[in-house]
């Protein structure tokens, strides 16, 4: 909510933020890529795509348009990863985020089926002031970090030529980070259980009184009381 409310501030300040961001990023974009073909304009185009897509995501009225803007953002991010020689990550970004997760988003929108929302209206002056203050603080801090002589970038050593390739990622996954890789299977199995448990349809039981209004409204809504009775009958059998 706060992000939405302050988005207009963000766009106002975008120019200066971009200038600052460029000071950090223009260096690695040209120096870190071993083949050296990614020019600075690749960074500019891709980051413009990311920023425009992100702003469009939070300001579109139609939810589906917002999701499509997010797809554009994800493609831009994938491109940025590629220029930073994170090749496997770039591919996964397109496959998983721009593909699978966006499908999920669309399904969520279809399941929720909300009407097109109004833009979050401008709230009180206090909220705006807090948002502006936080943004100024962020900009100042960011500027400090970027202007500090021992910047973050200079400390990072240049990645090896095979950095970010599928094979190199595999080497990390299956030797040094083997334990986290195997432990992810626990995380994924919980996710599977969660998908089944949380999306499970509520099953009515005929024993208590408080199900009655639910069943009644269901049959009234559908104009078909056969289905509700069916469920009760099936359940009463054991």
Partner 1 sequence: MSVEQATDYGPTLVAILFGIAFSCVFLGLAMFLGPKRENAEKLSPFECGSEPIGSPRVRFSVKFYQVALLFLIFDIEAAFLYPWAAIFRRLSCLGTVIGGECLGTVTAFGFVEMLVFMSTLVVALAYVWRKRAIGWG
Partner 2 sequence: MTFDTSDLVASLPLLFLTVAGIVLLLLDAFSRVVLVGREHHLKLPAETSEAVAVPPPGSRNYLMPVTLLFLLGALAIIVWQVGTLPETSVTIYRGMLVVDRFGLFVIGVCVAAAALGIVSAPAYMRAHKMEFGEFYALVVFALCGMIILVQAADLVSVFLGIETMSLGAYVLTGSWRRSARSSEAAMKYFLVGAFVSGLLVYGIALIYGVTETTSLIDIKRIAMSRGAAPLFYIGWMLLLVGFAFKLGVVPFHMWAPDTYDGAPTPVSGFMMSCIKAAGFAGLIRLLQGTLPMLARDPFTGWTFVLSWLAVLSMSLGNLAAIKQDNIKRMLAYSSISHAGYLMVGVVALGTVGDAARGPLLFYLASYALTVVASMGVVSWVGCDERGEERVRLSDWAGLGKREPMAALLMTIALLSLGGFPPTAGFFGKFYLFQAALGESKLLWLILVAIANSLVSVYYYLRVITAMYFREPAPNPATLPIQSTAMKVGVLVSTLLVLAMGMFPGWLSALCAAAKF
Q: Which residues bind partner 1 (CB under 8 A)?
A: 33-35, 37-38, 82, 85, 87-88, 92, 95-96, 99-101, 103-104, 107-108, 110-113, 115, 161-162, 164-167, 169-171, 173-175, 178, 181-182, 184-186, 188-189, 191-193, 195-196, 199, 201
Q: Is 158 in the site for partner 2 (CB under 8 A)?
A: no
Q: Residue 173 binds what, of partner 2, partner 1, none (CB under 5 to 8 Å, by partner type)?
A: partner 1
Q: Give the nearest distance from C-beta 91 to partner 2 in angstroms.
A: 20
Compute the distance between CA of residue 89 and CA of residue 98 in angstroms, rounded to an integer. Answer: 12
Burial class of residue 22 (count of CB atoms within 10 Å of its CB; 0-12, 13-18, 19+): middle
Q: Is 201 in the site for partner 2 (CB under 8 A)?
A: yes
Q: Using CB under 8 A, which of 152, 161, 170, 206 touches partner 2?
A: 152
Q: Give the nearest distance from C-beta 149 to partner 1 in angstroms.
A: 31
Between 155 and 238, CB nearer to partner 1: 238
User: Do 108 and 70 meet the contact criterion of CB atoms below 8 Å apart?
Assistant: no
Q: Using CB under 8 A, which of 64, 96, 189, 212 touches partner 2?
A: 189
The token pair that represents 128 in the structure block: 């705006």
* Residue given tokens 């334990």 in the structure block: 179
Q: Residue 217 binds what, of partner 2, partner 1, none (CB under 5 to 8 Å, by partner type)?
A: partner 2
From the CB of residue 200, how many other CB atoms can be counted at a distance below 10 Å?
8
Interface with partner 2: number of residues (CB under 8 A)? 52
Q: Is 170 in the site for partner 2 (CB under 8 A)?
A: no
Q: Residue 208 binds what, of partner 2, partner 1, none (CB under 5 to 8 Å, by partner type)?
A: partner 2
Q: Using CB under 8 A, which of 118, 148, 167, 213 touches partner 2?
A: 148
Q: Residue 122 binds what, of partner 1, partner 2, none (CB under 5 to 8 Å, by partner type)?
A: none
Compute the distance between CA of residue 88 and CA of residue 42 in angstroms, rounded to an integer. Answer: 19
Q: Using CB under 8 A, which of 193, 206, 212, 213 touches partner 2?
A: 193
Alpha helices (H) in the chain, listed in sequence order: 2-5, 7-12, 14-31, 40-59, 63-83, 87-92, 102-112, 125-147, 152-155, 166-171, 178-198, 212-222, 225-236
CB environment 88-125: b (16+ within 10 A), e (fewer): bbbebbbeebbeeebeebeeeeeeeeeeeeeeeeeeee
């Amino acid at each position: 909510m706060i992000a939405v409310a302050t988005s207009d501030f963000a766009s106002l300040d975008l120019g200066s933020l971009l200038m600052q961001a460029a000071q950090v990023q223009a260096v690695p974009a040209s120096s870190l890529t071993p083949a050296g073909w990614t020019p600075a304009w690749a960074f500019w185009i891709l980051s413009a795509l990311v920023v425009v897509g992100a702003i469009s995501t939070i300001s579109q009225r139609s939810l589906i348009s917002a999701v499509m803007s997010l797809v554009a953002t994800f493609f831009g991010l994938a491109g940025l990863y590629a220029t930073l020689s994170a090749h496997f990550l770039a591919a996964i970004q397109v496959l998983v985020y721009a593909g699978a997760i966006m499908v999920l988003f669309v399904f969520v929108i279809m399941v929720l089926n909300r009407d097109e929302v109004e833009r979050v209206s401008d709230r009180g002056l206090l909220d705006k002031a807090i948002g502006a203050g936080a943004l100024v603080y962020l900009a100042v801090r960011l500027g400090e970090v970027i202007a500090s002589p021992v910047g973050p970038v200079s400390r990072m050593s240049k990645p090896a030529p095979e950095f970010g390739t599928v094979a190199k990622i595999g080497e990390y996954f299956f030797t040094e980070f083997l334990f986290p890789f195997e432990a992810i299977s626990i995380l994924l199995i919980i996710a599977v259980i969660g998908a089944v448990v949380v999306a499970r349809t509520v099953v009515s039981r005929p024993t208590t009184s408080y199900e009655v209004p639910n069943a009644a409204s269901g049959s009234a809504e559908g104009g078909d009381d056969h289905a509700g009775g069916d469920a009760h009958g099936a359940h009463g059998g054991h």
